[in-house]
Amino acid sequence: MLQNETKPVYPPQHYNNPMNADNYNRTYPMMNMPVMSREAETQKVKGIVQEIYERQKDAVEFHRSMVDMFDFLHLRGFKIWQECRVKEETEKMQDIQHLFIKRRQSMLGPTKVQQYSSVIPHEIYVHTAKEISHDDISKETKRVMKEYLKWEESTLDFYKKKMRELMEIESYAEYIDVRELIDDTASEIEFLENLMVELESVNYDSSYIQKVQERFITEFGENQHSRLYMRKRARLNY
């Protein structure tokens, strides 16, 4: 370059510069989003998990009402089945609280008043168990099964909604927990639907229902529940 030659002056590349602030924000919009504080994140997650916790409380009460209903109908095997479900739902509710304390150093609040509809009709309280007929066993078993399926399907929809909410705020640990609840609920629906098909095939015959309840005494006995309990608790021991 000659001694007296001046350097050419170029206009600033404001709009073409890929690292320009405006271009950067348009290219990477997520990087420009406000970062949620740890405390704000915990409160957001807590609100969602609190709803799940309350749903589990309702599930416990729902299955307890089924225990009482089957007890009234003299269906011991069905009663044992639902007692097993009460234990499992209670464990899930306790696990939700335990995991939240361990992860967030915060405790979920007391549950609200129950939201579920009991499977026990009000008119049954004026009758005695001695009055139960074979037709009553058939009719009430069919009704309770339908109520049961309706409850589980609504629970599945609820969990799916909460799972999406947790994913949106990137709460992955709680997301995995709800995913497990979804898998459990889907399995329960599958079992219930197969049982209903079986009972429908005999038109909910009371004699056949008696045979099923004998099968349930073996399938849902205490030893069976203990093995399930130990398997599910293994991941919580930390």
User: Is 216:75 a contact under the CB 8 Å cutoff?
Assistant: no
Residue 33 lies in a domain: no
- Surface-to-core class of residue 89, CB atoms within 10 Å of its CB (0-12 exposed, 13-18 middle, 19+ buried): buried
DSSP, res 120:
S
Residue 110 lies in a domain: yes
Residue 197 lies in a domain: yes
Report, as an integer, the average pLDDT of 89-114.
89
pLDDT tens figures, 9-51: 555 554 455 555 555 556 555 445 455 677 788 889 999 999 9
Structure tokens at 175: 């997301």
Cα dihedral angle (47, 49, 51, 55), rounded to 10 degrees?
Answer: -170
User: Is 95:234 a contact under the CB 8 Å cutoff?
Assistant: no
Residue 35 lies in a domain: no
What's 156's domain CATH number?
1.20.1260.10
Closest CA to 86 of 119, 56, 65, 60: 60
Structure tokens at 70: 């089957």
Predicted pLDDT at 110: 82
Closest CA to 232 of 48, 49, 50, 99: 99
d(CA 85, CA 100): 23
Report the domain count for the chain. Answer: 1
Tell me which amino acid residue 200 is: E
Predicted pLDDT at 193: 98
User: Is 67:170 a contact under the CB 8 Å cutoff?
Assistant: no
d(CA 23, CA 16): 8
Residue 128 lies in a domain: yes
Structure tokens at 125: 């309280």
User: Is 155:209 a contact under the CB 8 Å cutoff?
Assistant: no
Domain that holds residue 145: 42-236
Residue 224 lies in a domain: yes
More confident residue, 118 or 26: 118
Predicted pLDDT at 121: 92
pLDDT tens figures, 170-226: 999 999 999 999 999 999 999 999 999 999 999 999 999 999 999 999 999 865 555
Whether pLDDT at 151 is above 80: yes
Residue 29 lies in a domain: no
Residue 26 lies in a domain: no
User: Is 44:36 a contact under the CB 8 Å cutoff?
Assistant: yes
d(CA 195, CA 201): 10
CA distances for 130 relative to 66, 75, 76, 133, angstroms? 19, 13, 15, 8
